[in-house]
Structure 1
Amino acid sequence: MGLLILFFIVSLPVFLFSPGPTWQELNSFIVGEKINQGLRPYVELIDSTPLLTQWMYGAFNWISGQNITLRHSLALLILFFQAGYIGLVFINRKAYTETTYIPSVLFCLLCCVSFDVISITGTLLASGFLLLAVNSIFREIEFREPNDSSLVKSGVYLGLASLAVFSYVIFFFAAILILAFFTRSSLRRQFLFVIGFSLPHALLLSYYYLLDQQSDLLNYFYKANLFADERVFQNTKTLLILSSVPIAYFAISFFSLNRATRLTNYQSQLLQAMFIWLLAGVVHLFFTRSLRPQSLLPLFPPLSFLLTHFLLSINRKRFAEIHIWVFTIGILLTSYLVRNNFFFEAGYSGMIVKESSPTLVDKRILILGDDYSPYMKNQLATGFSEWAIYKKVFEEPDYYENILIVNNQFALEKPEVIIDPNNLFAAFFRHLPELEKQYHKKGNVYYINEVNGAN
């Protein structure tokens, strides 16, 4: 309870001074609504969001709708349980010379580096699976005895994490290194781990294969996540400023641990394993398709682990308490300064959804472009959710497959308004003449004819 109260107090600015919904949260609104309407991912809903994240968006859209405060509250509870789980894992695995919940406290403090961390996204779900995998890997290092079920579970957890955030595949390779260096993993057992990781993907591929829809899954999930352009919501300068205090304390911890801490061989191996995990988290930042402060979340467990070792190595508790206070104030201060644009070219302007035109309200619309802001006050019609994925459909109107996709999408639901800044929609009239009869154009916007009504 004390940890929950502490976490709530330090995260109060998220609730009191939230700058508004982010683009990632807007995407969760859109995808969650279409999932609740029954659209099939990658077949009817054209979006590269991983399957488990789409399901999660659907669940939270059913629970909270678009209530930002309620969603932040639920995200806070999820992060709190993750913090508690981290503390229990490190205690049960005897990672330190004494029993302590300092890692849980540090994890909560790290989650306050930015308001964006405390939000419902796929990163939040994937980080939970990562923690389950860390627990299983720690068990492998601790007991050093063949436990095939534990090894397969580790792979399954990492496979599920990659079905929540695809770029978390990187942690699969980090886990292979940890198992190779610190456990007695034969080639057979490494193969079992690979099978565990592949199992969720194999089940997903098998399901779409049985429905004869595997091409949609390959194009809109695997290919899209591997080759689609990265969307940078925050520049490197902003992320470095937000991370400056944790980076400083990591540097202090790194140079002081070897000479100030006496660890058993097992604890030393755990420390090295978490350092590999930390490096994997840094590498992940270069491959994520959505770079923002919440992308730092996989770094928080290993950072909490390493900083706790540093704090426990301080002989005088008063000095350790001073470090915790400096750490807390530093994180909250940098977060406040960035949120209020104190630093040049550092802030949240690229993350926040700007107000759209007030002329469109409560309409079922389709946007043929990458400005999704009108969706804040309207609903997406059809399943064209992610412009980076479906823009090729509208840019190549002479391909039969694209004509068929557009026809099928408009059969699902006809938009009342189509925003077409690049004049792409008219090219389909030659192949789908009934659409030309159903819409009229004003400027770069198509409106459905009142005679036809909206389906």
Structure 2
Amino acid sequence: MLRFFRSYYPYLYVSLLGLLLLIRLPLLLNSLPLLIPELNWMLVGEQISQGDLLYRDIWDSVSPLSAIVYWGLDTLFGRSSIALHGAATLVSVFQIVYFNYVTNTRDVYSDRSFWPGLVYMLFLHLSFDCLTLSPMLMSTSLLLLAFGTLVKQMERRGATDEVFEVGFYIGLAALFYLPSVLYILWAALALLLYTGATFRQHSLSLFGFLFPIAVTILFYYLNDSLDDFNRNLLASVFRVRQYSLSDVQSLLASLLIPLGLGVLGFLSLFNTTSRYVNFQQRIQQIMMLWFVTAVLTTALMPFLAPMSFLSFVPPMAYFAVFYFENVRKAWLSELGFSLAFGLMLLLFYQGALGLIPGAELGRLSNLQVRPSPLPDNIRNQRVLIIGEDLSAYRYNRPATPYLNWDLAKYDLRNLDNYEAVINVFDHFRLDPPDYIIDRENVVEKLFQRAPALAAQYEKTASPGVYKRK
């Protein structure tokens, strides 16, 4: 396969994208497990379509530009996981083509080939959860655009005013996925160490970064929701862990080969430094800074899953290409790639389809939506779930703003506070749920504090489930 993509002819884009579709079509045509984050994102888009304002009327920590995309998809397709998968494939196509284009047209490697795009395409399949349109995937597209602009600056003797674009792209990336805000440090260091950027140009880059964020803050200020924006997004990144979804074995297995090849490629550079010109060495250092920044973002991730590590793909793919370039014998390079290709796709399909009976590796069971605690005949009802398990929303609609349990704790875990009780009562009055599913044992205390609510609900036969009278 490496031999086929060794050339650099435009028609190979068709072959590369055909290979991408060949890998994904068997899964896109089958019914993939619905993931809890997917359901959460669809609910956010659905509620915005109904006129609710994110953070004020929807207590969730999804970033605003991602929410706008989910709103658009809900407007066009309704609550559809297929739409998320299709849109994710289009975003993946853009990233593969752009990464291959930039690395070749800017002569980032010694030889031009389609290896960068091929390796990038493979590494996008860390796990089957990477098939969905996640904020991390969308944010990585903007980071790639910032990288492309930085590479243009590296080619010149001095930086230009295009550094504004670098900051602007990173600002947009942060509005898709807030932990990406750390990449402004990556850009600042790259401009400081590897270009002749002046103070004015550094200021331009910082202004480009702050501009889209300032516009977003202004929007919420004008809608009298700045406190909601701060609590549910800005402050939440340091405190909120949205789901308890960690499947450490599957996570490590999905990252093992890409990280291993990336590290081997990085180490191979120490024996071949003379092959690369000064410009290429600077790009290597910039990509190393990207990887370090990506590691720092792990502390801000709302949950741990392979899809959360998609921002690692560009530096891993970039260095992995060096490994295959620097293997002296072509057949060893071909064999190594074939093994990596086969093992990664085996884990990918095992996770999605359960090829090995009884094996849980790659299945991400904690990430999948479980059967609803409500009877099957209860559908299209207004439901409030108090807890992390969103499964009852699969065929129902959320009531009250309390979508994210970690954010709902501000009120529902603080019922000894009079203001919190008033807030809950007002939310129930404006948007009363038909059913309450209490997994955190707070409803009884709420009913004690607000007897008017207690008079409206009765217990059902299901534990922790209350029905509106």
TM-score when normalising by structure 1: 0.91
Provide Cα deviations, 1:403-440, integer angstroms capped at 9, x if missing partner: 34324423442211111244423444566554334333
CA contact (8 A) 1:230 1:288 kept: no
Report which stretch shifted further, 96-105 or 406-415. Answer: 406-415
AA aligned to 2:86 is S
Do 1:34 and 1:383's aligned partners in 2 also have CA atoms closer than 8 Å?
no
Given the alignment, which residue of 400, 403, 423 partners 2:421? Answer: 403
The CA deviation at 1:67 is 3.0
Q: Find 2:97's aligned residue among 80, 84, 94.
A: 84
Partner of 2:400: 382
Give me the whole-angstrom Cα distance separating, in 2, the residues matched to 1:335 and 1:213. 42
The counterpart of 1:45, out of the listed 44, 55, 58, is: 58
Amino acid of the structure 2 residue aligned with 1:240: L
More deviation, 59-68/228-237: 228-237
Matched, 1:446 2:466: yes
Query: 2 CA distance for matches of 1:112 and 1:124?
Result: 12
In the TM superposition, residue 39 of structure 1 has moved relative to its aligned partner by: 0.4
Q: CA separation of 1:241/1:266 partners in 2, compared to 1, >3 Å: closer, same or farther?
A: same
Q: 1:348 aligns with which of 337, 361, 364?
A: 364
**Which of residues 215, 230, 248 is equivalent to 1:236?**
248
The correspondence of residues 419-434 of structure 1 with structure 2, limited to 5 A, is 419-429=437-447, 432-434=450-452
Within the candidate set 177, 186, 205, 1:165 is matched to: 177
CA drift at 1:124: 1.7
Matched, 1:258 2:278: no
Identity %: 28
Partner SS, residue 285 of structure 1: helix
**Aligned twin of 1:97:** 110
| Structure 2 CA distance for partners of 1:229 and 1:358, relative to 1, 3 Å | closer
Answer yes or no: is the 8 Å Cα contact 1:10–1:109 preserved in 2: no
Q: Letter of the aligned partner of 1:239 in structure 2? A: L
| 3-state SS of 2:300 partner | coil
Deviation of the 1:56 alpha carbon? 1.4
Q: 1:52 deviation in Å?
A: 1.0
Q: Contact 1:136 / 1:153 at 8 angstroms: preserved in 2?
A: yes
SS at match of 2:176: coil
Long gaps (5+) in structure 2: 1-13
Aligned residues: 448
Secondary structure of the residue aligned to 1:96 is: coil
Superposition TM-score, scaled by structure 2 size: 0.88
Alignment of 1:185-196 (within 5 A): 185-196=197-208
Partner AA of 2:100 in structure 1: G
Structure 1: 5+ residue stretches without partners: 450-455
1:125 pairs with 2:138: yes
Q: How does 1:10-29 map to 2 (within 5 A)?
A: 10-15=23-28, 20-29=33-42
The aligned amino acid for 1:367 is I
Aligned residue for 1:289?
302
Is the contact made by 2:268 and 2:322 (CA closer than 8 Å) also made in structure 1? Answer: no
8 Å contact kept, 2:42–2:74: yes
Q: Equivalent of 1:219, from 231, 250, 260?
A: 231
| Alpha-carbon distance between aligned partners in 2 of 1:322 and 1:41, rounded to the nearest angstrom | 50
Structure 1 pair 245–317 and aligned structure 2 pair: CA distance change class (3 A) = same
**1:71 positional shift:** 2.5
* Counterpart in the other structure of 1:452: none
1:30 is aligned to: 43
On the 8 A contact 1:126/1:162 being kept in 2, the answer is yes
